[in-house]
Structure 1
């Protein structure tokens, strides 16, 4: 029987168990995949720790991303043949369609035949980060070559993907990070400018970089008090896309900046993209083209074997990495 990762209670990496589980045949609209690589995401850590929008029903599977070969598919599925190399666009229910396992079933609309030049490891590190970044920056903010964009918490996989998506349209990337420890790596990954917020004045540096105009687009997963400071960095008619809440603290509403500069502050969710068939198809086309051309190239921080799933997710929680953590089978 295939090996599947499940957890029977909330907690740290130690609650993860590799178990032999019989995997059912794919439903009529599903594809069954023999997994070669799994991409890890912070959402899975939050889910396992009971700090996510979804709650577990024990024992629970988990996982959003994977890549492998098609084993079989349901009666209504078209466009795939046995053996095809495919990767998974995260679904909206990781407990039902978890990806931490040797064999998984995934709805066909979330399965992509990725470009042949892409390894399984990079394919498993692709879709969460690029769909999230593309949806915010291109689909919603309409980022262009005339724009500056602030990408905060920039060493995350989504932050690094945002660099590449922004560069693909010619925009200028301003990355923020707490200290200068990761500054060189962020420049190497594609940031035009890096601001260490614990060591430099964010607003002064942004205004210096933009000749006093500010940035039209901000892409932020932190929230809290940082929102008011980011609003002060923005240009007239700018848009701030808030896609996370890493800060546990509430912050003041920046009413004077919002009113004075006609700003838009928008909460942004990944499911706005994957929940709409038309938008999802645009995302697939844009990202596939970018992967094929090399404009988009997933950065992998480290790989672990499947047997070290606990160690891999512990490393994810350490925040030491720059890029994606991938588990291989």
Structure 2
């Protein structure tokens, strides 16, 4: 099979096309998946630049997100059959094979049926960002109907699904954007108030929007000093969730004085720590999201599709920033 091998740590040139043996089923409950598409996420570019979580197992195949068709099943597989279309978030951290490849194997408990109404490219773009936004809003942030939430970078990969999940919960959403095009995009997704952060003080805008009280929940997908700057935009006793590691120089005074509850969201934790029940829960999240996608209540935006061989170019585009939605690799001629 063709695969993209991360041959070393460095720039996108370390991603090389290689011909590798097709993986074989090694467990009784495993599936052999013929991959049709793989999502690209910022974690992929970070691993490429910094090294995998398992450096002793280099070279590696990256890519946590995948979508494809079941081509083979283990003798004890109960829930899938050959020909099923599936999607999932699994592998790609340097231990198990990732999805920048034409085939992969995965235990059936970490897979669910792909939404019927969307393409393989859209399905492959979805898992990591859906799980991240779900856990951040519903579990870490405890979002309730009628609450107000500020989502940073609402046009981005995580942000564009977070807006929709917040609206599905019955919340009001304001979100930071950098252009009119992105403002129009997030409004189509349901955002109530796009804030042009380059021209407007987003904290003051959020306070004005909430009659001076502040939002109930801040969801930070940007990191750096954006987290610290955002504390005054959150109501007293409100919630803050960030998907980035706070910097050592973060000043927490405003958060402390407002009694904010700070939560960290890393959806990779179940994979990294081998927490099977937590991985099963994440699969349930994808199962529910598939229902919403098929009823038209949740949409996945794929901004760019690249053939598998152009993985390096896809990484470069993602690293250039200012992306609306997701970037996806397509296998074969699909």
Question: Does TM-score exceed 0.5, indicating one fold?
Answer: yes
User: Partner of 2:260 in structure 1?
Assistant: 263
For residues 281 and 17 of structure 1, the distance between their equivalents in structure 2, rounded to whole angstroms, comes to 30
**Within 5 A, what are the aligned runs for 1:50-61?**
50=50, 55=55, 57-61=57-61
Q: 1:136 to 1:273 in 2, by over 3 A?
A: farther
Task: Give me the TM-score of the superposition, normalised by structure 1.
Answer: 0.90
- RMSD of aligned Cα (Å): 2.3
User: Which residue matches 1:254?
Assistant: 252
Q: Structure 1: which 5+ residue stretches go unaligned?
A: none
Distance, in Å, in 1 between the alignment partners of 2:305 and 2:223 is 30
Q: Deviations over 1:77-100 (max 9, x none)?
A: 221111111112234745413100
**Does the CA contact (< 8 Å) of 1:38 and 1:326 recur in 2?**
yes
Partner of 1:212: 212
Matched residues in 2 for 1:38 and 1:97: separation?
Answer: 12
Contact 1:224 1:250 in 2 (8 A): no
Distance 1:18 1:105, change over 3 A: same
Matched positions, count? 325
Tell me the secondary structure at the aligned position of residue 125 of structure 2: coil
Contact 1:156 1:322 in 2 (8 A): yes
Q: Contact between 1:302 and 1:326, CA under 8 Å: does it hold in 2?
A: yes
**Counterpart of 1:188?**
188
- Which whole-Å CA distance do the structure 1 matches of 2:131 and 2:281 have between them? 10
User: What is the 5 A alignment of 1:290-329?
Assistant: 290-329=292-331
What is the alpha-carbon distance in structure 1 between the residues aligned to residue 180 and residue 56 of structure 2? 38
| Deviation digits for residues 129-153 of structure 1 (CA, Å, limit 9, x no counterpart) | 1111011111232212311111113
1:78-227 → structure 2 map (5 Å cutoff): 78-91=78-91, 93-178=93-178, 182-227=182-227
Bigger mean CA deviation after superposition, 207-216 or 89-98:
89-98
Task: Provide the rounded CA distance (Å) in 2 between the counterparts of 1:226 and 1:116.
Answer: 38
Aligned 8 A contact 2:112 2:287 in 1: no
Normalised TM-score (structure 2) = 0.89
